[in-house]
Structure 1
Amino acid sequence: MAGFTDTLALAASGMAAQSQRLQHLTENIANADTPGYRRKTVSFEPEMQAGRPTGRVVAGEVTLDPAPLERVYDPAHPLADAEGYHDGSNVDLVIEIADAREAQRSYEANLRMFDQTRDMSAALLDLLRR
């Protein structure tokens, strides 16, 4: 049963990491039109236990995208400078939506692995009861 438990833990760690990634992607999409907003990115890191990798992943540190902010010409905007420009965001909606789709599919793959492992575990218990 330890193998089943380890597999469930692997799948759960993948789902938790992708869930956190989706949270940041939705924040980016929601703030795409916010002046001065910088895109947030999150990386995945291997989980370590006693100095050895466990195979599980954890969401790493959230970083801000260093890409330059878009310059927007809008002289009526309260943040506009003397030339009529203000800093927009560096969020590209096409990239964010593609990343969200990828994170969703990865989450679903981990969920399927979790469900299959649970079903195999239940089938094994049924065989052992007979």
Structure 2
Amino acid sequence: MFRTIDIITSGLVSQRQRLNTIAENVANINTTRDAEGNTAPFQRRFVAFSAEKSDGKAAGVEYQVEKDTTSDPRRVYEPNHPDADGEGYVSYPNINLVTEFVNALEASRAYEANVVSFNTTQKIGDMALRILA
């Protein structure tokens, strides 16, 4: 039972990190500078999942936050913007708000499913204790 709870907990933590990453993307949708103040658009991040194994058996979910380096920044013609290049274009992050909302909805549903699994496991454990008592 404890192994099951550990697996479910890793799923909860993974989905929470996914939601945090999505929130970071949405918060930086118009960020045109990096942390040092250089003109460089924020790069969208996403969470990659993999199976965590222990002794060759499933032990939960591992995740890693990665940068999306495959898509180009969104260029908008704004010649009066302080971060505009020589041609008058500003490079904005490669973040699609609709995609982020769909991903947030999916992560939220996965989180809810893990909570239901946790509650069910807990009920099964309670029933087992009643049988043994």
TM-score (norm 2): 0.88
Q: Distance in 2 between matches of 1:20 and 1:83?
A: 38
Shift of 1:55: 4.1
Q: Distance in 2 between matches of 1:123 and 1:63?
A: 42
Following superposition, which runs of at least 4 residues in structure 1 exceed 4 angstroms of deviation? none
Q: How many residues align?
A: 124
Please, what is the CA RMSD of the aligned residues? 1.2
Q: Distance in 1 between matches of 2:129 and 2:109?
A: 30
Shift of 1:53: 3.9
CA deviation map 1:12-38 (0-9, x unaligned): 111111111111010001111112011
Q: Which amino acid aligns with 2:8?
A: A
CA deviation map 1:27-80 (0-9, x unaligned): 001111112011101101111224x242411112x2211200000111111111
Query: Hey, which of these two has a bigger chunk of helix by percent?
Result: 1
Q: Distance in 1 between matches of 2:6 and 2:67?
A: 29
Is 1:100 the counterpart of 2:97? The answer is no
Is 1:16 the counterpart of 2:20? The answer is no
Q: Distance in 2 between matches of 1:58 and 1:80?
A: 40
Of 103, 115, 118, the match for 2:119: 115
Of 62, 67, 78, the match for 1:64: 67
Is 1:42 the counterpart of 2:47? The answer is yes
TM-score (norm 1): 0.89
5+ residue gaps, structure 2 = 33-40
Match of 2:91 in 1: 87
Contact map agreement 1:46 1:53 (CA 8 A) in 2? no
Identity among equivalent positions (%) equals: 37
CA deviation map 1:81-116 (0-9, x unaligned): 222111111000000000000000001001100001
Q: Distance in 1 between matches of 2:62 and 2:111?
A: 13
Q: Distance in 2 between matches of 1:42 and 1:96?
A: 12
Contact map agreement 1:44 1:58 (CA 8 A) in 2? yes
5+ residue gaps, structure 1 = none
